[in-house]
Amino acid sequence: MSRSLTLLPLTLALAAALPTAALAADARKATITVGDTPLISRAALFGNPVKSGAQLSPDGQWLSWMAPVNGVMNVWVAPAAKPEAAKAVTDSKDRPIPGHFWSGNSEQLLFVKDNAGDENFRLYGVDVKTGAQRDYTPFDKVRVRMMGTSRKRVDEVLVGVNNRDPRWHDVHLLNLKTGELKLVMKADGFAGFQTDEDLQVRMGARPNAAGGIDYFQVKDGAVADKPFLSTNLEDNATSPLGYTADGKTLYWMDSRDRDTTAVFAEDTATGARKLIAQDARADLGATLRNTITGEVQAYAVDYLTTEWHFIDKSLKADFDWLQQQLGKGEVFVASRTRADDKWIVGIDPVSKVSATYLYDRKAKKLSPLYVARPELQNAPLVPMHAVEIKSRDGLTLPSYLTLPQGADKNGDGKAEQAVPLVLLVHGGPWARDGYGYNGTHQWLANRGYAVLSVNFRASTGFGKKFLNAGNKQWGLAMHNDLIDAVDWAVKQGVTSADKVAIMGGSYGGYAALAGLTFTPTTFACAVDIVGPSNLETLLGTIPPYWEAGKKQMYSRMGDPTTDEGKAILRAASPLYKADQIVRPLLIGQGANDPRVKQAESDQIVQAMQAKNIPVTYVLYPDEGHGFAKPNNRIGFNAIAESFLGNCLGGRVEPLGETVRQSTAQIAHGADFLPGLKAAAEKK
């Protein structure tokens, strides 16, 4: 099908440091009995899953999924009629393959992989029948982007490759059988393109001076002289969703003349538009499309929880039947065949272990495929509760609260006793937290903490007023929202004001640093994972392929090319207030992070050292923007758990061998955390 390219990579969202739960594939105990509630092991929560990410080939003949090979996540394939005959078709030994997808001809499995977290992703393919593997983009220091797939030209795809100029992803036609890579058009100045089922580039998107996007018609590789549609910063969420198979209809998500984005269908011949869906509470854009025609069949509204609304009533009948069979929770469809006769489905029950099934639509039959987390089937998982919190200036902050069993024995979301709280801040900041199973929430709640995740202003998905209320508010109103959420939790009896930690990755790491520098006594301690400490140096070292997003970032954060912008960025940078830190701080950093460079952590540690302020700093030489390797995830979370236990008094699973088994380098402050120095010493 035609593919809508994400136009602007304007996010510092954390990819792997705070993962949703995954399961150790080897036989380890999931729980350790400590007190009334068994302790769920970190290995069970953050190790490799047994299997995950199942996909159906378009022709329905094959199943694929991710599973470990010698402890590293790889791609496996099996005949759809015989899942037990699965075999690994990749053999990555150093770093997990992040995911995979099928070619249109059902003959190749495609995947991307970087080197040690540098995010220079290459595109690879594996011939399913022969097992032969091919590197389709064998270029150093180059990042590939998928730009278009097709149900008509099944042996080809469109990819973006920035090997000519690292700032721009030129469009190339890739023949999956021969490996031939042919330049279609150069991308100078363009953030992205929209393609159709004939693998023709139909539209280009170029950032403009207003912080928005100019959209240009493209025909035979030639770009129109003038844009046919333009947005400003306020309506930057407006973007195309893709064409129908016949190319006659283009779907859009559009926020112009409204607050939240609505879904529209545009007649490509006349330009006439028809409203498909809207909701005053949340931005719309997630859809289910007909596998043959590409027409929208259903759309999702994700405010506090996800609600699916169906245009195609036959699809609704399937979902209703699946809900009855699978029970309480959100039903999701992970994959569909081209004939739409078979689906990969599952359900997210939040506080129970979910399973993945093969669904035969005609026979109305569910065949179990796997349980990704079997070791958690009897673990004491707890509910997540969606709550609305008011900010001091009247904004409603959609948030998610998880309470430990001892504080919420009946599971109604109301605290029966105050416990320590971890404020878990999402990355981005142009991203959002959502409702569903969350391994970090479960881990911290199991250790005795309440966990609160807040969609502060600048979070996406809640309309342009909410998003734009965060413009140039790093360390200001965005931080106030987090403080207001803590105050709410204290007033609700969830916690006490002296027992709150702040923790997060990427922007969440920045928020942790801001918490200790801008409001030095609000938090008892903080955990910063790959968080920027100096916004000037952050913007000065972003990857070259983010060039198209610079203007928007400057508009939302502060323009480092102007004196006014520099002053805004400097005032919002925790580095310059490092001498204000009086509470314990733990920092985790990947040495190869291309988004938030190692220097961001180094410099605040050095500033604290200069003032003799204690800080514990853990560096991973083989990681990037987050911790992708399970030994490193488990190892850092072991350190964080010990740190939080020392600070807030929660339960702690012993460090054991986890730190030694990771690649952690305790760059500073091993003596500040009891037992860390000994636990980190290599045998």
Residue type, 570: R
Q: Tell whether omega for the bond before 429 is within 30 degrees of 0, i.e. cis.
A: yes
309 part of the active site: no
Paired tokens of 254: 């559009």
Q: Are 297 and 311 in contact (CB under 8 A)?
A: yes
Name the residue with tokens 């102007």.
562
506 part of the active site: yes
Residue type, 236: N
With CA atoms as reference, report the closest residue to 49 among 70, 68, 71, 23.
Answer: 23
- The residues facing 310 across adjacent strands are 298
> Measured between alpha carbons, how far is 66 from 50 in angstroms, rounded to an integer?
8
- The residues facing 213 across adjacent strands are 207
Q: Are 428 and 470 in contact (CB under 8 A)?
A: no
> Measured between alpha carbons, how far is 251 from 645 in angstroms, rounded to an integer?
50
Q: Are 145 and 169 in contact (CB under 8 A)?
A: yes
With CA atoms as reference, report the closest residue to 108 among 53, 177, 157.
Answer: 177
Paired tokens of 432: 């959002």
With CA atoms as reference, report the closest residue to 330 among 318, 338, 322.
Answer: 322
Q: Are 413 and 403 in contact (CB under 8 A)?
A: yes
With CA atoms as reference, report the closest residue to 99 among 120, 119, 113.
Answer: 113
Q: CB atoms < 10 A from the CB of 479, how many?
A: 21
Number of H helices and E strands in the chain, helices first, is 13, 39
> Measured between alpha carbons, how far is 122 from 145 in angstroms, rounded to an integer?
9
> Measured between alpha carbons, how far is 454 from 466 in angstroms, rounded to an integer?
13
> Measured between alpha carbons, how far is 519 from 392 in angstroms, rounded to an integer?
16
Q: Choose the catalytic residue: 593, 601, 622, 642.
A: 593
Q: Choose the catalytic residue: 506, 601, 642, 662.
A: 506
SS3 letters across 410-457:
CCCCCCCCCCCEEEEECCCCCCCCCCCCCHHHHHHHHCCCEEEEECCC
Q: What letter would DSSP give residue 67?
A: E
> Measured between alpha carbons, how far is 74 from 76 in angstroms, rounded to an integer?
7
Q: Choose the catalytic residue: 172, 426, 479, 625.
A: 625
Residue 633, φ and ψ in degrees, nearest 5 = -60, -50
Evaluated on CA atoms 654, 656, 660, 666, the torsion sign reads positive
Distance of CA 44 to the CA centre of its chain: 21
662 part of the active site: no
Distance of CA 610 to the CA centre of its chain: 36
Residues taking part in catalysis: 506, 593, 625
